[in-house]
Amino acid sequence: MNKYLDIAPEVLSAIQENRPVVALESTIISHGMPYPQNVETALRVEQTIRDGGAVPATIAIIGGRLKAGLSHDEIEYLGRKGREVAKASRRDLPVLVARGADGATTVTTTMIIAAMAGIKVFATGGIGGVHRGAETTMDISADLEELARTPVMVICAGAKSILDLGLTLEYLETHGVPVIGYGTEELPAFYTRRSGFKVDYRIDTPEDLAAAFRAQQEMGLGGGMLVTNPIPEEYSMDPVRINAAIDQAIAEATARGIRGKETTPFLLARVKDITGGDSLASNIQLVLNNARLAASVAFHLAVGSNALNINK
């Protein structure tokens, strides 16, 4: 075991007994929502995983320790500190650990720590990607590189629609990352179910998702797999309204010179304000939806299944 890693007893027991475990990120707690809604949502997502028959493992860095599985008190601690907690990507881990500091894990660092612990399935809201205007700014999320190198299945509601979705798919294709649509041939766009861009494959059952990921790992191909799970229809937002809010938020970020790791939190917060909080409500529901699917996939990955039906 990595000497910097602490695995919660419940999570460690489940891993050793080959029971289903689902990793969860912690930036949604510290940077994604206001307190106390962030803590309430984190605990609700954990309960959704439990209701699906799996063990939740919320991941973070606390006091310089890499944590796979948090207590309620630790989740409360991150929620109260909020943006005082560093948003930790791969490049931040060495310094945060050496300093004994706290860090909220992004998709990237959640994948890294999950893989260290032996957790194969991770549920999140949406991944980062290629930002609009990246042809001049080179602003590309580290999430995409991590998907190419770390053997974890990431279940999300697509790439955040603040991004350039077409270039994000091109980048993932170049790096050999399979992009799977769960029950859809079209890439979901986080707040909305459709984007106009096609995924690589459509897979319709958790069993077949587990079988595809198992085959990828057993062939030694390396890297992860991205599963895009559309937001439930009843919580999907009007595309015209959400895109107008995103365009306004991007214009404000550009005018204020906001860039780098501060870009996504700023844009999501502004979109929430512009939509009167509707985007936050949708965000919560899509995370819960992804958690339910992840619990089912983790179960089938643990028990094993050889059946595979894929539509390309």
**DSSP annotation of 260:** G
Encode pLDDT of 169-223 as tens digits. 999 999 999 999 999 999 998 889 988 899 999 999 999 999 999 999 999 999 9
The residue from 25, 74, 76, 207 that is catalytic is 25
The residue from 67, 87, 120, 160 that is catalytic is 160
Do 75 and 153 fall into the same domain? no
CATH number of the domain within which 143 lies: 3.40.1790.10
Do 166 and 86 fall into the same domain? no
| CA-closest candidate to residue 64, choices 103, 100, 88 | 100
One-letter amino acid at 89 equals S
Instruction: Please provide residue 82's backbone torsions phi and psi, each rounded to the nearest 5 degrees.
Output: 55, -130
Q: 310 pLDDT band (50/70/90 cuts)? A: low
Do 298 and 204 fall into the same domain? yes
Encode pLDDT of 36-59 as tens digits. 999 999 999 999 999 999 999 999
CA distances in angstroms from 265 to 41, 162, 175, listed in the order given:
17, 11, 26
Do 112 and 144 fall into the same domain? no
Do 61 and 181 fall into the same domain? no
**DSSP annotation of 292:** H
pLDDT for residue 306: 42
Instruction: Please say whether the dihedral angle defined by the alpha carbons of residues 124, 303, 184 and 111, taken in this order, is positive or negative.
Output: positive
The encoded tokens of residue 215 equal 């085959």
> How many domains, in total, are found in the chain?
2
Q: Which of 46-50, 119-123, 257-261, 291-295 has the lowest mean pLDDT?
A: 257-261
Residue 309: pLDDT above 70? no
How far is the C-alpha of 244 from the C-alpha of 258, rounded, in Å? 19
| CA-closest candidate to residue 2, choices 65, 59, 55, 63 | 65
Encode pLDDT of 231-256 as tens digits. 999 999 888 888 888 889 888 988 99
Q: Among this protein's residues, is 84 annotated catalytic?
A: no
Do 293 and 148 fall into the same domain? yes
Q: Which residues form the domain of 70?
A: 1-119
In a domain? residue 272: yes
Q: Among this protein's residues, is 120 annotated catalytic?
A: no
Do 172 and 284 fall into the same domain? yes
In a domain? residue 312: no
Do 23 and 138 fall into the same domain? no
